[in-house]
Every structure is written in structure tokens, then in C-alpha cells.
Amino acid sequence: MIDISNAQLDPYRGFHYFHEDLNIYLKVALSSALLLVRHSAEPQDSDKLHDLIKLAHPSWNTPPVRDMSIDIQRRTHASISAFALISVFSAFDDFLIGTKAELHRFYSATESSRHIGMNKATPTIIEETNINDGEENDDDDDSEERLRAFYAKNGWDGRSIDPILKVVRYFRLCRNCIAHRNGRASRALVKHSSDADVHKLVSNLLDKASNGLRKYVINEDVFIEPTQAILCSHLLRKIALDANKKLLGTLGFDGFLRSVAHHTMFSETIVRSDAYKTPEAVLNFALTDRYRATMSNREECIQEMKRLGLWKKYMSEFERKYGTGYLSEY
């Protein structure tokens, strides 16, 4: 029996590994900034920053700064976290796009697109799942409502993510201000940052060494602590994990196997791995290593592919994409 209860579909995998990388790179970046301060911020090191900038790139011959001031330290610190925050929501938006693409392929293949109001003859509509507002005025943002509507349209229970969304909204409003208002707090952020429930929720999520969320006044500079940027990514990963489980429930085993076949062989941009000698090896390795399914034996997935009428096409695509001469043996 093939168990997919803990399987990870491609959209979730993408965001999960983004989060893991962000956790590493953000800490490396902040540690590097600390090392830079130690190297160039002392009075006797007044020209070291100037010299380091010249070494960093051959075209930077006349750096506009010579020493590491307190203001530069603060802005460097803030810019690292700001970049991380914007990247987090970009990656989460990509996760949502991928999730809807999985649903679109599933309902198109099963001719059940009317179940969620999709027309299988039309391309996937991405805008309604975009968590970023994309507008200059973020005071009228309705991303949470659109995410809840996305859940509801697919018959998914959204109560499990409701508490998370309130905190995510705080971070997203910060992101919007950084992206669209030159880092100045908007009316929406001022109002939401004063919500006691948000601060209470976050107090249970951050360790004692971390600062709490800031309360803002209009046009105040927005600043996110590095630990808070990681927390934001962590919360969005929890939403992604919840959606992944619900997507598995919608697809069922057959839909899951069709998705694996699509990504490993049927798509023009397939995912590749260390397995490449036979289609059986490619499929088995993908199921157990990439997608985290468990199987009782290696032949089971082949039989399931045959049951769905996918195996001949899978073998044919394997020969076309890998060119090993595999089919000549049949």
C-alpha cells in the first residue's frame, strides 16, 4: 500500500525549502554585518569601510562613504530584514500559484472543473490567490479575505489558519509599506499594529530574547527584527503545510500520482534526480525521496500507474527525455 498521508506536493516543497534557506542566509547576512561593524566601526578604523568597498567590486573606485556610522549600521540591519520580508511574501505567492495550478490540472483531468467554478478550457486565474496587494494604497488590502475565499471555494476548512492570518497581516502590511511607501508606516499598519490581540498572539511565538512587534504612528520608519522575519516565514509555512494537506485530500491518491507523473515526466520542465536509468527508478525515487510517500514494495506504484492508464506514456516520455534506449528492450 502506498501511504501519502505525509506527502509533500511541489508547491509546499518549494516554500518549505525557501524557508530553510532563508533561515540560513538571514543569519549569515546578519553575522556578516556584525563582523563588518567590528572590523570598521572603531575610531582607528576610519578608512577600513572605504577600503573594503573598493575591494568588493572593481568599478567602486570612489566609495561615497569612508567609515561605519551608527546610522549606516542601523540601516544595514534594517535593509537585511526588509529584503527577507519581501522575499517571504514573494515565495508564498509562488506557493499559492503552484497550488492553484495543481487544482486546475486535477479538475481539468477529471472533468470536474465546475465543482469549484473553474472552466477547464480557460487558463488558471492567479490574481485571486495573490496575498500581496500590488497596489500603492495598502489601506484597502483584502488578502486575508481572498485567501479564505480560496479555501472556501475548494471546500477547505479555514479555521485552522484563522489565528495565524491576523499576525501574518501585520507582517504583510509592513511588507507593503517597505515595497510601496519607501518604508513609511501606512494608516492600515498603524491601526493593525495597535491591535492587542496581535501582540498577544506573537508573545506566545517569540522567545524571551526577542523584541515584540512594534506599534507605529503614521509615516514612521518601518523596522522588522530578523527574528520576526523568520517568524513570518515560519507562520506562512504553517499555512502552506495546512494547504498541502488539504490539497492532498482534494486530489486523493489518483490525483497525487498524476501530479507526480506530471512533474517527473509529462511536463516539459521535469524535475530530475539521481535516478535516471529506468522509468521505474525515476518514479520510485521521486515518490519516496522527493514527495515523501511510503510504499510496501517497488512494483506497487507501477501497477497503480497502469491502472490509471499512465504507464505507457510515462515510459515513452522517459525515452524522449532521458534517451537511454530503454524502450528498445520491450
Model confidence pLDDT, tens digit, residues 94-147:
999 999 999 999 998 876 444 444 444 333 434 444 544 444 455 556 788 889
Cα dihedral 41, 44, 45, 47 in deg (nearest 10):
120
Winning range, highest mean pLDDT, from 140-144, 162-166, 224-228, 238-242? 238-242
Query: In the chain, what percentage of residues exceed pLDDT 70?
Result: 87
Q: Which position has the higher pLDDT, 170 or 63?
A: 170
Is pLDDT of 212 > 80? Answer: yes
Quick check: 289 and 296 in contact, CB under 8 A?
Answer: no
Per-residue model confidence (pLDDT) at position 139: 56
Map residue 3 onto helix, strand or coil.
Answer: strand
Quick check: 326 and 318 in contact, CB under 8 A?
Answer: yes
- CA atoms within 13 A of residue 172's CA, in its CB half-sphere: 26
- Report the C-alpha gap between 52 and 167 in whole angstroms: 39
Q: Place 77 in a pLDDT band, splitting at 50, 70 and 90.
A: confident
Residue 273 to residues 37, 179, 284, 302, Cα–Cα distance (Å): 42, 37, 11, 18
Per-residue model confidence (pLDDT) at position 123: 38
Contacts of 219 (CB under 8 A, 6+ apart): 184, 185
Q: What number is the average pLDDT over the span 258-282?
A: 90
Map residue 221 onto helix, strand or coil.
Answer: strand
Per-residue model confidence (pLDDT) at position 145: 84
Per-residue model confidence (pLDDT) at position 71: 87
Per-residue pLDDT of 189-211, as tens digits, reads: 999 999 999 999 888 887 765 77
Per-residue model confidence (pLDDT) at position 111: 63
Per-residue model confidence (pLDDT) at position 137: 53
Which residue is associated with the grid cell 507526480?
Answer: 260
Query: How is residue 278 annotated by DSSP?
Result: -
Q: Roughly what angle, to the nearest 10 degrees, separates helices 10-40 and 226-261? A: 150
Q: Place 330 in a pLDDT band, splitting at 50, 70 and 90.
A: very low
Q: Give start and end residues of each alpha helix (H) in the chain.
A: 10-40, 48-56, 70-110, 143-153, 162-180, 187-193, 196-203, 226-261, 279-285, 300-307, 311-322
User: Is the dihedral angle over the CA atoms 30, 32, 38, 44 positive or is it negative?
Assistant: negative
- Report the C-alpha gap between 327 and 197 in whole angstroms: 62
